[in-house]
Amino acid sequence: MTALLEVTNLSKTYQISNLWFKDRIIKALEPISFQIQAHKTLAIVGETGSGKSTVAKLLVGAETITSGEIKLNGQSLQQGNFKQRCQHIRMIFQDSGTTLNPSLTIEQLLDEPLLLNTDLNEEERVQLIRDTLHKVGLLAEHMSFYPHMFSGGQKQRISLARAIILKPQVIILDEALGALDPSLRSQMINLLLDLQQQMGLAYILIGHNLGIVKHFSDDIIVLCQGKVLEQGKTSQVLNNPQHKYTKKLIMSQQFQLVRQQTTAKTKTK
């Protein structure tokens, strides 16, 4: 069966030019390969600077690839073909508040990708905006509101609405759940899982929080300094980590969790 998304030997090197010294080469991402099927979630984890966002930027075409190939439904994605990528691969960031243009209403914000990428008439676009808001748990009345009138969790839903309105096949969640408090986060995860089931979406979940990763993803890639250290089924990798870096990552999160629980207990005393 052809994978929905197939990435082969994708890599990224930056060359920093300097007038006085030799050019500096930064290997942001060493060759990485993976596949994702519809309805599945792949998590990419690693510490700061490990190359997680570089993978995301290469997939959405925000950076040029140094080597490798990205195939969607068996077809190679051409560098610079933003229209093709925009429709099929969408991205949601951690800080939705700053990615939503504050001077546009929700209707205008959701209309933008439709105007750029579809031939729908005004009536059809408005209907699609209503339906999409409904899908993410918002109301048609919200169309005339501005982003500042929403809470952080609701802004995240607006970003999700903007991401799904073009009926994409892949959504990249770049630290998209990290800033939400635990109850909003679980609501958002449930919504994402529902949408995945309804729309057959594949997610790429980029983040630090291994609790979310364990709950949410089917497969995992552990990155360190641009290199893949471990790759496989999430349950296998997290229950039986082979590399000492992965073990350290798991240990440090367990330690943080115990510390948070202890602080919470002390506060309630």
Ligand X SMILES: Nc1ncnc2c1ncn2[C@@H]1O[C@H](COP(=O)(O)OP(=O)(O)OP(=O)(O)O)[C@@H](O)[C@H]1O
- Residues in the site for ligand X, rule: CB under 6 A? 14, 26, 28, 46, 48-54
Give start and end residues of each alpha helix (H) in the chain.
52-60, 82-88, 96-99, 106-117, 122-135, 152-164, 182-199, 210-216, 234-239, 244-268
Nearer to ligand X, 54 or 132 (CB): 54
C-beta of 248: minimal distance to ligand X in Å?
Answer: 16
Distance CA 151, CA 97 (A): 9
Nearer to ligand X, 25 or 264 (CB): 25
Distance CA 162, CA 143 (A): 12
C-beta of 24: minimal distance to ligand X in Å?
Answer: 9
Can you say whether the dihedral through the CA atoms of 219, 222, 226, 229 is positive or negative? negative
Nearer to ligand X, 14 or 255 (CB): 14
Nearer to ligand X, 76 or 256 (CB): 256
Nearer to ligand X, 99 or 105 (CB): 99
C-beta of 44: minimal distance to ligand X in Å?
Answer: 8
C-beta of 52: minimal distance to ligand X in Å?
Answer: 4
C-beta of 146: minimal distance to ligand X in Å?
Answer: 29
Half-sphere exposure of 157 (CA within 13 A, CB side): 22
Closest CA to 202 of 91, 40, 44: 40
The pair of structure tokens assigned to 182 is 């635990």
C-beta of 206: minimal distance to ligand X in Å?
Answer: 7
Nearer to ligand X, 49 or 102 (CB): 49
β-bridge partners, 220: 43, 232
Distance CA 156, CA 174 (A): 12
